[in-house]
Amino acid sequence: MPKLIDGRAIAERVYAELRDEIARLKPRGLIPGLAVVLVGDDPASRTYVRAKDKMCRELGLHSVKLELPAATTQEALLARVDELNRDQQIHGILVQSPPPPQIDEAAIVRTLDPRKDVDGFHPLNVAKLALDDETGFVPCTPLGCLRLLRESGIALSGANVIVLGRSMIVGKPMALLLMRKGIDATVTVIHSRTRNISEICHRADVIIAAIGRPHFVSAEFVREGAIVIDVGINRVEDGESERGYKLVGDVDFDAVSGIAGAITPVPGGVGPMTIAMLMSNTIKACRQITSASE
């Protein structure tokens, strides 16, 4: 049996650390605040927003949940973001993706105060990641993947790591993060135009799959003992489920788990870590903003 990398258990260890940090901030009168903005009523987005708000409250953070109608205009959303930028009780702002089609998501991200951009998508934070500037914010999912690997005792220095996917949400920041001095992985990024994908992957010590294609990574991609981090969350039809579907990753778990040295399940792997890292980034933002103003 492969070693399962339990994201829920590791997330709980992160929360224990964060509770200690929050306790150290309280005597200074500081309560980290997170605002999550949801435009429209996409069911998956609504579920994510609820989970983020719930965790904020469990940790004792100041939580603001703004649910705006699907017809909200670009100008109205920009105005709400500007209000949050100026709100001294809010240290982190997240506008849930994807927004309705009339919203220019890139323009919204650029409007965020980069000091409060706890998703790590503002151009200034992307630049800080590329420059190894620790004051910037790293997107939550790549940060969570790194924590999973470290907590599992995976040696990354000099390791051959394959990242499948080149999105700004996971693939690109994941590659930049793994190349940082002190982490020192050797990274290859695979995308839709890459040739001989299975052959390249088969040489990897670590595979991080984030392409949004169910069961794309099959047994032929994975060499014996390789570490597999499955970022994908895909709905596939399942006639035996009451919901009519089940959640699967980008990795064919049944085929790959017998080969991998360690693997994340879906669900219960990367997912819990994404919210944990959002909470961590929010507390970091609170520390940095208040330190700058003192």
Residues noted as catalytic: 52, 96, 119
Q: What angle do CA 203, 176, 105 make, to 5 degrees?
A: 120
**112 within 8 A of 81, measured Cβ to Cβ:** yes
Nearest 10 degrees: Cα torsion 148, 149, 154, 157: -150
CA atoms of 262 and 275, how far apart (whole Å) = 22
Which one, of 134, 222, 120, 223, lies nearest residue 172 by Cα? 120
| C-beta of residue 14 within 8 angstroms of C-beta of residue 280 | yes
Picking from 257, 266, 293, the residue whose alpha carbon sits closest to that of residue 3 is 257
Which token pair is 277?
């890292």
Name every residue whose Cβ is closer than 8 Å to that of residue 231 and which is 6 or more positions away in sequence: 141, 145, 165, 170, 208, 209, 210, 249, 250, 270
Burial of residue 262, with CB atoms counted within 10 A of its CB: 0-12 exposed, 13-18 middle, 19 or more buried = buried
Instruction: Identify the CA nearest to 62 among candidates 27, 97, 36, 96.
Output: 36
Per-residue burial over 140-167, b if 16 or more Cβ lie within 10 Å, else e, is bbbbbbbbbbebbebebeebebbbbbbb
